[in-house]
A and B are shown apart, each in its own frame.
Chain A
Amino acid sequence: NAGVTQTPKFRVLKTGQSMTLLCAQDMNHEYMYWYRQDPGMGLRLIHYSVGEGTTAKGEVPDGYNVSRLKKQNFLLGLESAAPSQTSVYFCASSYTLFVAAFSNQPQHFGDGTRLSIL
């Protein structure tokens, strides 16, 4: 049981290049999330998905696109990389108990992708 796996772990890009970050979870979770972590800024939500085929914008979505074609995978794309997108990117997943009164469940995080854009 691997949990949440992110690939690649490290990447260096040049300004203007594009790339895709892959997140895979094997826990059959409905919800998946992409965050970026910058020093002193905590975790900021980029996009999230409530299920296969659905995505929604988070707090800082500009410059990123996402897709959730399969329940277990959540892809984050950078269309034209900029130095301001240098960051550590974390994927997370969680399940929900939609019919329960207290239905929120904890998130499970991957170990991150460290992305530098020159």
Chain B
Amino acid sequence: GENVEQHPSTLSVQEGDSAVIKCTYSDSASNYFPWYKQELGKGPQLIIDIRSNVGEKKDQRIAVTLNKTAKHFSLHITETQPEDSAVYFCAATPGGSYIPTFGRGTSLIVHP
């Protein structure tokens, strides 16, 4: 089955800095890669996703890149703000499966 590794487990940055979270996956059949943000006491919410026919996707301060050859994908947050502090999860879903495998999460702390 699919295996997703996520690093780092904790990331501390100063407000205004950039933050990068990296994930690797094992199943070459995975073709959908969502990223979720989980705020304290809430459920995860989708912030951005990318499919295997695209190498990069951007939405304002958030971007995701995908390297299918190396089987890794990354979340980039620029100009971080205190409200970006949360736990972020990556996931990989094999085509036709509809069952994602999640990374273990990254706790992002943005210091004012």
- A residues neighboring B (CB under 8 Å): 4, 31, 33, 40-43, 45, 48, 50, 58, 90, 92, 94, 96, 102-104, 106-112
- With A40-B9, A102-B32, A104-B93 in contact, do A109 and B98 touch (Cβ < 8 Å)? no
What is the CB-to-nearest-CB distance from B25 to chain A, in angstroms, rounded to a whole number? Answer: 14
Known: A43-B102, A104-B93, A107-B46. 7 other contacts (CB 8 A): A42-B105, A45-B99, A50-B98, A102-B95, A103-B98, A107-B34, A107-B100
- B residues neighboring A (CB under 8 Å): 6, 9, 31-32, 34, 36, 41-46, 49, 51-53, 89, 93, 95-100, 102-105
Note all chain A residues with C-beta closer than 8 A to B100.
Answer: 104, 107
What is the CB-to-nearest-CB distance from B83 to chain A, in angstroms, rounded to a whole number? Answer: 18
Note all chain A residues with C-beta closer than 8 A to B53.
Answer: 102
Note all chain B residues with C-beta closer than 8 A to A104.
Answer: 31-32, 51, 93, 95, 97-98, 100
- With A40-B104, A42-B104 in contact, do A109 and B43 touch (Cβ < 8 Å)? yes
Contact (Cβ within 8 A) B34 A111? no
- With A96-B98, A107-B46, A111-B42 in contact, do A43 and B89 touch (Cβ < 8 Å)? yes
Note all chain A residues with C-beta closer than 8 A to B43.
Answer: 4, 90, 92, 109-112
Contact (Cβ within 8 A) B44 A43? yes
Q: In the complex, what residue of chain B is closest to A42 when comparing beta carbons?
A: B104
Note all chain B residues with C-beta closer than 8 A to A103.
Answer: 95-96, 98
Q: Give complex CA distance A67, B96 in Å.
A: 23
Q: Give complex CA distance A108, B34 in Å.
A: 12
